[in-house]
């Protein structure tokens, strides 16, 4: 409950009124990222919030809909979340084996992203995971999301 309260407070500080966000879904150690192909190029997936849905919940929903049991690791958007800044979340997952063929996990050092917002979100997400104190991935426990329960 304490973690959820802290996450809600942190994300509320970054409330932009935006209804979509970039998702940097990384392996637990931050060495692999999930990408999708858009117009023949690699891109980070996007989440769009349904009416009344919090953007961070949409991020979890999108990851889960592709079979990735992920949790929010932090805010990977622009430092100042306003109408000119990007909305992005860093997510981490113990298993990057999507059920769909839309998303593909690849090593971070081999990804070629052409969108500067994707590049910035990926870099911030990797920084978040590097500074994380979580030493290893938890054992898979179904759809539990400790940061959102």
Higher pLDDT, 52 or 134: 52
Residue 42: the pLDDT is 92
pLDDT tens-digit readout, 15-31: 545 678 999 999 998 99
Compute the mean pLDDT over every residue in the chain, rounded to the nearest whole number.
79
pLDDT of residue 135 exceeding 70, the answer is no
pLDDT tens-digit readout, 39-92: 888 999 999 988 888 888 999 999 999 999 999 998 888 765 555 567 899 999
pLDDT band at 100 (very low <50, low <70, confident <90, very high): confident
Find the Cα–Cα–Cα–Cα dihedral 73, 79, 82, 86, rounded to 10°. Answer: -60
Residue 97: the pLDDT is 84
């Amino acid at each position: 409950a304490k973690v959820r309260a802290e996450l809600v407070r942190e994300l509320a500080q970054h409330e932009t009124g935006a209804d979509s966000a970039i998702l940097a879904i990384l392996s637990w150690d931050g060495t692999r990222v999930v990408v999708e192909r858009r117009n023949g190029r690699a891109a980070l997936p996007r989440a769009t919030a349904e009416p009344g849905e919090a953007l961070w919940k949409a991020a979890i929903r999108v990851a889960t809909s592709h079979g990735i049991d992920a949790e929010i690791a932090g805010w990977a958007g622009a430092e100042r979340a306003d109408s000119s800044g990007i909305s992005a979340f860093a997510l981490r997952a113990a298993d990057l084996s999507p059920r769909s063929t839309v998303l593909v996990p690849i090593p971070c050092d081999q990804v070629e992203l052409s969108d500067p917002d994707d590049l910035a979100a990926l870099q911030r997400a990797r920084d978040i995971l590097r500074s994380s104190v979580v030493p290893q991935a938890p054992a898979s426990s179904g759809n539990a999301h400790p940061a959102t329960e």
